């Protein structure tokens, strides 16, 4: 029988023929080790390598209880826990009403037999806003998630907190270009769909509840080849925010472009004179350009449709002189890359034998038809995009 007297904190290892490994972790006065004679005993003193408390994520305005233990990694490779005896603040009060990062020191005691300096340990608390939603096409990129609606759909809001905010892009459908007639002149370009951009749209402040919300995405103005009607784009909407469809470009039957999110361009009429561009909706778009009267039907060019970023241009008396479509706006909510939306359609001109359509989910206006083009260019359909921080609690 071998007898070892040692202090707590010694690690006893076998060497040679000893068959027993014993770690001393209590108030041990005498340890009796039985084994074959001739064994050699070695000991290693214990120190604390590190101390930690797992970080915590807390919902905004939620209740929270402080942890009770600190985790210690020992030089032996073992992990042990010791009770937390106090904090650098009142543990009965944690302010989770303000989103942010909070760091608090925890106090604890360890027995004297641990060697070295006792590490300081901190608890890191992340208080975060909550936004749990579904619907649309989910896309994630640096710092953000987005949900895109290319057609009508539902946005389901399951949980929100008071700091949850959205960035919102709503683009209406663009207006169709007008139709020209060989003896009278060239038509006006379609106005772009109206655009609403809201950044930091606070859901609670705007009385948004836990509910299912219908999203409407406006169609582009119809390109039906009719001389009489001027087709506006459809409205797009979310949360009661309504982007107005773009105004149709003026056709042969009406000199003036339609009003809309952005106004349609005026007709270039020979010999009676050019028509006026339609008015745009304040804070959503701009007016269409006027058409002009040429010395011949081919030189009577249509005005450009208004765009979200600028008014449509006035026609110019030459074979490629249709008024420029109003400039678009650029937005990066969908995927982090800047994309243009809501450009006005160019005014009709002699060279626009096949007028350009607006394009799906752009909100662009269709190009005005020439006096020789067979039909009408449809406007582009709209789009709705919402974006929110990926740092929120999302599930």
- Domain residue ranges in the chain: 2-45, 48-128, 130-395
The pLDDT value recorded for residue 297 is 83
Partners of 121 in the beta sheet? 106
* Category of 77 on φ-ψ map: left (φ > 0), alpha (ψ -120 to 50) or beta: left
| Cβ atoms within 10 Å, residue 132 | 16
The Cα–Cα gap between 20 and 30 comes to 15
Q: Residues with Cβ < 8 Å from 212, sequence gap 6 or more? A: 154, 155, 156, 157
CA pair distance 9, 376, nearest whole angstrom: 89
Listing DSSP states for 279-297 in one string gives PPPTTT--PPPPP---SSG
- Assign 110 to helix, strand or coil: coil
Kindly state the tokens that stand for 10. Answer: 């010694």
Token readout for 144 is 């953000």
Query: Which pLDDT does position 380 carry in this prediction?
Result: 97
Token code pair at residue 26: 């209590």
Q: What is the pLDDT of residues 130-181, one digit of tens each?
A: 999 999 999 999 999 999 999 999 999 999 999 999 999 999 999 999 988 8
- Residues in contact with 240: Cβ distance below 8 Å, sequence separation at least 6, in sequence order: none
Q: What is the 3-state secondary structure (H, E, C) of 305-359?
A: CCECCECCCCCCCCCCCCCCCCCCEEECCCCCCCEEECCCCCCCCCCCCCCCCCC
Predicted pLDDT of residue 2:
39
Return averaged pLDDT per consecutive 10 residues of the chain, 395 residues in all. 38 36 36 45 76 95 91 93 90 82 93 88 95 97 98 97 97 94 87 98 96 97 66 96 96 88 94 91 98 87 97 90 96 98 94 87 95 84 98 92
* Residue 262 backbone dihedrals phi, psi, to 5 degrees: -120, 150
Output the pTM of the full model.
Answer: 0.85
Buried b (16+ CB within 10 A) or exposed e, 38-72: eeebeeeebebeebebeeeebbbbeeeebeeebeb
Cβ atoms within 10 Å, residue 291: 39
For residue 242 the two structure tokens come to 């309504």
Query: Which pLDDT score, from 0 to 100, does residue 294 have?
Result: 83
Structure confidence at residue 30 (pLDDT): 34
207-249 pLDDT, tens digit each: 999 999 999 999 999 876 555 556 899 999 999 999 999 999 9
């Amino acid at each position: 029988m071998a007898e070892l007297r040692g202090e707590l904190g010694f690690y006893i290892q076998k060497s040679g023929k000893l068959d027993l490994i014993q770690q001393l972790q209590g108030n041990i006065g005498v340890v009796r080790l039985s084994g074959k004679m001739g064994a050699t005993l070695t000991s290693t003193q214990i120190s604390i390598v590190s101390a930690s408390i797992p970080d915590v994520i807390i919902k905004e305005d939620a209740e929270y209880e402080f942890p009770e233990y600190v985790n210690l990694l020992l030089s032996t490779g073992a992990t042990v826990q010791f009770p937390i005896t106090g904090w650098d603040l009142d543990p009965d009060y944690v302010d989770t009403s303000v989103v942010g990062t909070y760091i608090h020191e925890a106090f604890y005691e360890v027995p004297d037999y641990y060697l070295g300096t006792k590490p300081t340990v901190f608890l890191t608390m992340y208080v975060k806003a909550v936004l749990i939603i579904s619907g649309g096409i989910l896309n994630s990129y640096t710092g953000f998630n987005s949900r895109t609606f290319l057609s009508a759909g539902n946005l389901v809001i399951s949980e929100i907190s008071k700091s949850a905010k959205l960035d919102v892009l709503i683009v209406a459908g663009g207006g169709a270009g007008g139709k020209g007639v060989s003896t009278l002149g060239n038509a006006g370009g379609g106005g772009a769909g109206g655009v609403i951009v809201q950044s930091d749209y606070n859901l609670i402040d705007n009385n948004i509840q836990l509910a299912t919300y219908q999203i409407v995405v406006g169609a582009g103005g119809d390109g039906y080849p009719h001389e009489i009607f001027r087709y506006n784009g459809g409205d797009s909407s979310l949360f009661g925010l309504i982007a107005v469809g773009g105004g149709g470009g003026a056709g042969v039957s009406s000199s003036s472009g339609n009003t809309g999110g952005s106004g349609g361009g005026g007709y270039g009429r020979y010999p009676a004179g050019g028509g006026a561009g339609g008015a745009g909706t304040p804070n959503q778009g701009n007016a269409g350009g006027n058409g002009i009267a040429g010395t011949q039907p081919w030189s009577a060019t249509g005005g450009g449709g208004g765009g979200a970023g600028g008014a449509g241009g006035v026609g110019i008396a030459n074979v490629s002189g249709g008024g420029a479509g109003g400039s678009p706006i650029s937005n990066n909510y969908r995927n982090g890359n800047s994309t243009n939306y809501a450009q006005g359609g160019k005014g009709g001109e002699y060279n626009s034998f096949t007028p350009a359509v607006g394009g799906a989910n752009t909100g662009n206006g269709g190009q005005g038809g020439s006096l020789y083009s067979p039909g009408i260019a449809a406007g582009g359909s709209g789009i709705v995009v919402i974006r929110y921080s990926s740092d929120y609690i999302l599930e």
